[in-house]
Amino acid sequence: MASSVQSTALEATKANEEKLKSSIVRKSVPVTTAVPTLDVTTNKPTQNAKPATTTKTPTAATKDANLTTQSIAAAQAYDESVNPQDFQGEVQTTNDLPTIETLRKIEKYIVLDSDGKTHTFKSLYAGHNSARRVLVVFIRHFFCGNCQEYLRTLSASVTPDALLQLPVSTFIAVIGCGAPELINSYIQETGCPFPVYADPTCRLYSELGMVRTLALGSRPAYLQGKSVAHTVISGVVQGLKQVKTGLVMKMGDQRQVGGEFLFEPATLTIDTPVTTPRSEEDKQLEPPLEDDKPDNQEDPKIEEKRVTWCHRMRTTRDHAEMPELMEVLGLDGTGAPIKDRKRWEKALRTRKGTGLSMASQMSRLSIDTRRSNGDIKV
């Protein structure tokens, strides 16, 4: 009887061992389970079951998840190589002028005004109601204290009246990446006399080569000595004011930085334009009239424009300084100096952008005009 029980127990043990071996052969993720063994004397499972390793075949969903994780990791690694995360330094960018192909691609991209009305990007710098020269300033989000200080300094140094004195009609337009509903409060906060538009999609920023970062960089002269704490607190306060309106989270991409792009006639001549702006005294960039030609029909009388000078920001406060902007626009002077003499001297000698504007031609024209009027003795 004892031998019969022992034989039965041995056979059961061998069967368990064969099942265990066959499960180990299969490839997959190991899991730990307890495999019971039999007591040869009682033919009952023992209390001390030893853990054994079995396997589970990975599913298709698991493979897809692994591939997705690898793809995201690769994309993040590439993005970080071009745009350093947060405060890790300047981004990699250039100040190469946008090509004609790029400008044609984006000319029908839409920007929004404070009323939510749509305008083609090209209508800001070319058309019957636009100036022959237009500086488009791309700012960051609408709660950025640094960009607000920049527009305050710009508005004080480059006034609409000063632009009207130039021999070639010149104007400025501003584009931010937040919701258009924030434009009016932004204008009130900065006192900006120039029209402000919104590109919430950031498509223009991307196509024109502007990048994303949170790096601060060195303190510029246009901040007028304002500290980081001042600009940050200012933005936070403005955000809190928008809690009731529901716009507190619609200021725009906080990592998106901007730049400055000067559009001028493609011929680079200061001769009388094919079309003259409707009024030199009222250069408002207005939406096209209803009787204007559709967007898909080019008006041959509209003067072709291209970017002759540009600058892309590398940090969150890397806008071109006032002396450079005034030089590019052809204005006299360098702007109001600041108390920090060292930073002001740096602003006077540093040139961040690249390109060649019509400023030199305009300067010669102004001299010739003054000579003909007898203001300058030969």
Residues constituting the chain: 378
The structure's pTM equals: 0.69
Q: Provide the b/e sequence for 317-354 (b: ≥16 CB within 10 Å).
A: bbbbbbbbbbbbbbbeebbeebeeeebbeebeeeebbe
Radius of gyration of the chain (CA): 34
Round to whole Å and give the CA distance between 146 and 372.
44
Compute the distance between CA of residue 351 and CA of residue 215 in angstroms, rounded to an integer: 20
Site of tokens 């930085």? 257
C-alpha torsion angle, residues 340, 343, 346, 347 (rounded to 10)? -90
DSSP state of 223: G
> Closest Cα to residue 55, out of 28, 80, 79, 32?
28
Q: What is the pLDDT along the chain (378 residues), one digit of tens a residue?
A: 444 444 444 455 455 555 544 544 444 444 444 445 545 444 445 555 444 444 455 555 555 555 445 554 554 444 444 444 444 566 678 899 999 999 999 999 999 999 999 999 999 999 888 899 999 999 999 999 999 999 999 999 999 999 999 999 999 999 999 999 999 999 999 999 999 999 999 999 999 999 999 999 999 999 887 777 777 887 787 887 778 888 888 989 999 999 999 999 998 787 765 544 544 444 444 444 544 444 445 555 788 999 999 999 999 999 999 999 999 999 998 888 888 888 889 989 999 999 999 998 887 766 655 566 555 555
